[in-house]
Amino acid sequence: MPKARPPLEVWRHIRHIVWKRDKRRCVKCQKYVALKEAHIDHIESGRLATNALRNLRTLCSTCHALRADHRHRGMMAKAIALGIIPPDWRKQVWEG
């Protein structure tokens, strides 16, 4: 995540813009995602990342959990427990 999160109302507006720009679909698997279920992912993550629109994309919960990013390890464990991703998730991890 970037160093500073924008205020909640600003983030909600950004989420909506990114989701509409991405045609309400996960940019990885192309599945339609409702706004309330959409994960707005930082393409470049970490302390140097920004909340600029060019650094954000819409992902479904499965694709977000399976993204190869060491910052997502906790998300993977939760996704396995909830049945969002299968126990053999390692072969489905993607870079990008």
Measure the CA–CA gap between 51 and 69, rounded to whole angstroms: 17
Residue 52 pLDDT level (bands cut at 50, 70, 90): very high
Q: What is the pTM of this model?
A: 0.84
CATH code for position 31: 3.40.1800.10
Q: Do residues 63 and 30 lie in contact, with contact meaning Cβ atoms separated by under 8 Å?
A: no
Q: Is residue 15 part of a domain?
A: yes
Domain carrying residue 38: 8-92
Q: Is residue 3 part of a domain?
A: no
Residue 89 pLDDT level (bands cut at 50, 70, 90): confident
* Tally of domains in the chain: 1
Q: Residue 4: is its pLDDT beyond 80?
A: no
Q: Residue 3: is its pLDDT beyond 80?
A: no
Phi, psi angle pair for 41, to nearest 5°:
-100, 140
Residue 2 pLDDT level (bands cut at 50, 70, 90): low
Q: Is residue 55 part of a domain?
A: yes
Q: Residue 1: is its pLDDT beyond 80?
A: no
